Structure 1
Amino acid sequence: MNTIFYMVRHAIKERNRGDVSITAEGVEQADLTARLFMDIPISRIFCSPLNRAKQTADMIGQALQLPIVEDFRLRERANWGDLPDQTFDQFVEIWDRCTKERDFSPPFGDSASQAGDRLSSCLKELSCQYSQECMVIVTHGGLITDFLINEFPEEALNGIHPNFINEQSHLISECSITKINCTSEGFRLIYFAETAHLRK
C-alpha cells in the first residue's frame, strides 16, 4: 500500500445558501489546477458530491480525460443550508463551535473529529484498492484540516503554520493542493495548501 493523494479544495464558490456553484473566478482557478495535473501521472479522480467540488473535479477530469467518481465521504463537515431557513451567521456560529470542540455533535452534519475520521477511512480504503497510484481528491478545506488534525501531532502541524489548530479555518485557500502519501505505516504530509499553480 503506497498511494499519493493530491487533495484539492474546490474553487471559489458563490456566497449563498445551499448546494452552490463555483464563480467565474473559480472556473479560472479550476482551469489552472487542471493544467498542473496534466504534467502529473494521475490515474483517478474522486470528489465530494457537492456542486462546487464536482464542477472543479469535472474541469480536471476533462483535461486529463478521466472519469469523476463521487464519494459522500468527501463531503464537507457541514454545508450552509443543511438546516432550513438557517442564516449565515447561525451557520458560522455552529461551524466555529465544532472547530473548537472537535467532538461536539451539531444539529446537522458531522463533528470535526467524525469528519476527519471519514476522510481518513476513505483515503485508506482507496490506497488499499489502488496501491501505487496517484489520485486527485477534490474536497473541502474544513474536511482537509479535520483530517490533518486527527492524523498528525499538533507539534508537526505547528511546523507547517504557527498555531495551526486555532488558525485552521484560514489556511486552505480555494484550489490549493495538499499532497499526502498513504502507506501501510500511515500518512505522510508531503506539502500543504500549495497555490503556486494559481499564479498567472
Structure 2
Amino acid sequence: MITNFFLVRHAIKEKAKGDVSITPDGIMQAQLTARYLSSSPIKAVVSSPLRRARETAKYIASATRSEVTEDIRLRERANWGDLPEQTFDEFVEMWEQCTRDPDYIPPVGDSAKQACMRLSSLLSELGNIHPPESNIVIVTHGGLITDFLVNAIPESELNVWHPSFIEEQSNLVPECSITKLNYDNGKFSIDDFANVEHLK
C-alpha cells in the first residue's frame, strides 16, 4: 500500500550566515504552499530543525491542522556557518565538491550519500508506522532532496523529469517547490517533481 510524501523545500531565506529565518517573500510562499496542501488530508508534518524549515512548516501545520515534529535527519547536508571561520566562497567550493563526488565527506556535515541514507531511513520509518494511503509533509532543504533522489532513484527515471538531472541537480528545486514521492513496499518512485504551480 502506498504512502504519499510531499517533500517541500523551505521558503526563501535570508542571505546570511548561520541558522537564518525566511524573508517576507518567503512567508508569502509558505502561506501559498500551506493553502495548497490544506486541500489534502495530511497525516503528519515533519521538519528539519533549521529555522528556515521550521518556520515554513509552521504555516503548513496551521493550515492542515497538524502538529510539527522535528527530525535531525532532515537537516541540510551542510549549512554555511557550521564552520565558524569558513567564508561563503569556501562553503560553496565544499558544497560543489560534495555534489560532484557523492562519497566525499566534508570537514563538516555529511557526504551526499550519507545525507541520502538518513532521509531514506526517515521516509521508510514513516511509511512503516503510518497507515496506508497517508499523506505526509516533509519540510527540508533542496540539497537534501536532490541528494536523496540522485542516490536512491535510477538515473533513467530522474531524466524523465529533467534531461540532465544529475548535472543540473543544484538548480532544480526552487524554494517551496513540492516533490511528491510514492512509497510502496520499500520502494520509492517520483509522482511529481519540484512543482511550483501553487506559488503562481
State TM-score, norm by structure 2: 0.97
Name 2:169's counterpart in structure 1: 168
Q: Does 1:3 align with 2:9?
A: no
Distance 2:160 2:181 in 1: 16
Distance 2:67 2:161 in 1: 33
Distance 2:115 2:28 in 1: 29
Amino acid at match of 2:115: A
Q: Does 1:195 align with 2:188?
A: no
Distance 2:43 2:166 in 1: 32
Q: Does 1:18 align with 2:39?
A: no
Secondary structure, aligned partner of 1:84: coil
The ranges of structure 1 where at least 4 consecutive aligned residues each deviate by more than 3 angstroms after the TM superposition are: none
Deviations 1:74-103 (A, max 9, x none): 110000000012111010000000000000
Name 1:94's counterpart in structure 2: 94
Q: How many Å apart are 1:163 and its aligned residue?
A: 1.1
Distance 1:187 1:65 in 2: 27
Deviations 1:147-194 (A, max 9, x none): 001111112111210111110000000000000011114001100000
Distance 2:93 2:47 in 1: 27
Q: How does 1:59-138 map to 2 (within 5 A)?
A: 59-132=59-132, 133-138=134-139
Q: How many Å apart are 1:11 and its aligned residue?
A: 0.1
Q: Against the structure 1 CA distance between its residues 124 and 185, is the aligned structure 2 distance closer, same or farther, given a 3 Å change threshold?
A: closer
Amino acid at match of 1:72: I
Q: Which runs of 5+ in 1 are unaligned?
A: none
Equivalent pairs counted in the alignment come to 199
Secondary structure, aligned partner of 1:3: strand
Amino acid at match of 1:137: I
Distance 1:120 1:5 in 2: 12
Distance 1:28 1:70 in 2: 22
Deviations 1:2-31 (A, max 9, x none): 311000000000011100000000000000
Secondary structure, aligned partner of 2:41: coil
Secondary structure, aligned partner of 2:45: strand
Distance 1:108 1:131 in 2: 37
Secondary structure, aligned partner of 1:80: coil
Distance 2:104 2:53 in 1: 26
State TM-score, norm by structure 1: 0.97
